[in-house]
Amino acid sequence: MENLYEQSALRLLQAADEIRARLAGEFSAVHGISVNEFFVLLHLERATKHRLPRVELAKRMHISASTITRMAAPMEKIGLIERHTDERDARLAFMVITDAGREKLSETRATLAKQAGYLFDERWDEATLNQFSTELHRLVSGSVSNLT
């Protein structure tokens, strides 16, 4: 591997794949939601007034607006989110996280923390992890998808 940029990018993609695969299994088995549904809840909770227009959420998640539309239906059905309209602009269909959605999010985040713990704790000490997190933050801080 001759190029440090290439090497780092590949390792980053692989590490993320590993984590995502683990989480997909755990989230599905334990909480009955997908990783993307988890991210929907997370984005909504952190948004102003705990709500976002569909298009804005799509941008933050790097997915298309049609996917958001299609994800919203079942999540509304099981009560994790609600659909609100805007008084000023009838085009907007806000997605709002419900109390049940917050509860689900909280449980799922605990699973995430546990799984991440397994992965990180046995490999890095706290100082390393702190630095790693800070470095990652520089990568995502300018992004619309930044959650942290």
Among 19, 22, 50, 63, binds DNA (CB under 7 A): 63
Question: Rule CB under 8 A: which residues touch a second copy?
Answer: 1, 3-21, 42, 62, 109, 112-113, 115-117, 119-121, 123-124, 126, 128-133, 135-140, 143, 145-148
Residue 68 buriedness (CB in 10 A; 0-12 / 13-18 / 19+) = buried
Q: Which 91-110 positions form the footprint of DNA (CB under 7 A)?
A: 91-94
| Residue matched to tokens 């099981």 | 78
71 lies in the site for DNA, by CB under 7 A: yes
Identify residue 95 by its one-letter amino acid code: M
For residue 51, the surrounding DSSP H or E stretch is strand 51-53
Per CB under 7 A, the segment of 6-14, 50-58, 122-130, 134-142 that binds DNA is 50-58
Cβ distance to a second copy smaller for residue 13 or 79: 13
Shortest distance (Å) from residue 21 CB to a second copy: 5
69 lies in the site for DNA, by CB under 7 A: yes
Q: What share of the chain is helix, strand, coil (3-state, %, to 5)?
A: 70, 10, 20
Closest to 105 in 3D by CA, of 53, 44, 22, 61? 44
Residue 90, token pair as written in the block: 């009838």
Cβ distance to a second copy smaller for residue 99 or 135: 135
Shortest distance (Å) from residue 126 CB to DNA: 33
Shortest distance (Å) from residue 28 CB to DNA: 9
Cβ distance to a second copy smaller for residue 8 or 85: 8
**Backbone CA torsion sign across 75, 43, 142, 111:** negative
